[in-house]
Amino acid sequence: MPALPTDDEAKGAVASAARAIPARAISLVWSMAARGHRAFATRSRLVRGRPACAIVSVGGLTVGGAGKTPTAAAVARALKGRGLRVVLASRGYGGSTRDPVTVVSDGRHVRGHAERTGDESLVLAAHAPGVPVLVGRDRVVVGHRAVSGFDADVLVLDDGFQHHGLARDFDLVCLDGVEGLGNGRVVPAGPLREPRAALRAADALILVDGEIGEGDPREDLGLAKVVADDVPIFRGRRAPQSLTPLGVGDVQDPRSIAGVEVGLLAGIARPASLRRSLEALGARVVAERIFPDHHAYADRDFDAGFAGVHWITTEKDAYKILPRWLEGERVSVLRMTLEFEDAEALVDRIVTAISPWLDRRAGRSA
């Protein structure tokens, strides 16, 4: 059974249909389809089998950015730090490749290109140095390659919560700590990819940024009936790490833009998150160029109206912008890093969950 649509596919399909059919009616149909997909794909696992390694999924319940990719990279780094052989898997959203498996990074050299393998795969490679990154639509096939080609102990799936056809040993679900679950409805009536009841499959949640859930997260997010009391809820925050000119120039302290007028340049799911980061640094956002998520940039995007502003963009966007398009205009890349609260407790919980597979692999190699 095919995988659920990507964010962009979902947004496009429901936007056109919503003009003719009430959004709530489409939402009901989408909810039923999502439930059916989860049930069917879960049963199909028995037919396809699974790769001979532990599998950790990092995913989300909402359409758009909730910090999934930086969280997946952080989890991979942490597991590698525990002495495990880790491989990251991405579907390669926005990339053109249709190959079963593409090696973006072998852990030493990064070979991917955003046009071919998507921007998120390159972000993973940059934020998890030393960890191989593979791209492929079928995560089962990717998992087998991770074992055969890289002797993986652990496969970490980026955006894997809706990829139900691959069994996993730990499901970590990212939720936006600013937006939460929105109105709690499924697309197009709300931001959910599937009904909130899907969170019963989560082994842990992580609230990224924001203040939602500072009290009782289960009550604040309306999750008391679907998330058991013994499922931990962690927190993560994205913090500015560096500001780097696109093209030629020295890396700068992000705080150098305090009091500076800047433009916001982004083709991401939630550009408001970049605005919040810039304003938190003290910058004054005086212009915006906002494109759809995973936008494929071209030289026409940098016309005469682009001149005279110091533009700030994201790391994801930077991989798709060629310096020769800018004609001397200033564009800088704000690189963010994700910091966990109680990081060791989260990693301990993951390692405990995957230990049966680790013991099995250790037994085979003994």
Omega cis (within 30) before 70? no
- 39 forms beta bridges with none
User: Which tokens belong to 339?
Assistant: 């910091």
Helix (H, G, I), strand (E, B) or coil at 137: coil
> What is the total residue count of the chain?
366
Q: Give the model's pLDDT for residue 55.
A: 97
CATH no. for residue 109? 3.40.50.300
Q: Tokens 């929105």 belong to which residue?
A: 182
Cβ contacts of 129 within 8 Å, gap of 6 or more: none
Q: Give the model's pLDDT for residue 249.
A: 79
Q: Are residues 50 and 145 in the same domain?
A: yes
CA gyration radius, the chain: 20
User: Which tokens belong to 15?
Assistant: 């936007």
Q: Give the model's pLDDT for residue 188.
A: 86
Q: Give the model's pLDDT for residue 9.
A: 53
Q: Are residues 58 and 173 in the same domain?
A: yes
Residue 261 resides in a domain:
yes
Return d(Cα 244, Cα 89) in angstroms, integer. Answer: 27
Q: Are residues 88 and 208 in the same domain?
A: yes
Q: Give the model's pLDDT for residue 226.
A: 86
Residue 1 resides in a domain:
no
C-alpha neighbours within 13 Å on the C-beta side of residue 267: 20
Q: Are residues 251 and 105 in the same domain?
A: no
Q: Give the model's pLDDT for residue 120.
A: 95
Q: Are residues 81 and 221 in the same domain?
A: yes
From the first residue on, what is the mean pLDDT of each consecutive set of 10 residues in the chain (366 residues)?
Answer: 52 51 71 68 62 96 89 97 98 91 97 92 97 96 97 97 89 91 88 91 92 76 86 93 89 96 94 95 96 92 82 96 84 94 96 94 67
Q: Give the model's pLDDT for residue 42.
A: 61
How many beta carbons lie within 10 A of that of residue 56, not counting itself?
25
- Give how many domains the chain has, as a whole number: 2
Q: Give the model's pLDDT for residue 146.
A: 98
Residue 158 resides in a domain:
yes
Q: Are residues 130 and 57 in the same domain?
A: yes
Return d(Cα 216, Cα 218) in angstroms, integer. Answer: 6
Return d(Cα 88, Cα 110) in angstroms, integer. Answer: 13
Q: CA dihedral in degrees (338, 204, 46, 61; nearest 10)?
A: -70
Sheet holding 54-60, edge to edge: 102-105, 133-135, 86-90, 154-158, 54-60, 170-176, 204-208, 233-245, 331-341, 310-314, 261-266, 284-290
How many beta carbons lie within 10 A of that of residue 131, not counting itself?
24
Return d(Cα 238, Cα 198) in angstroms, integer. Answer: 26
Q: Give the model's pLDDT for residue 224.
A: 83
Residue type present at position 33:
A
Host domain of residue 106: 7-237+340-365
Q: Give the model's pLDDT for residue 61.
A: 94
Is the whole model's pTM more than 0.85, yes or no? yes
Q: Are residues 250 and 132 in the same domain?
A: no
Return d(Cα 114, Cα 317) in angstroms, integer. Answer: 9
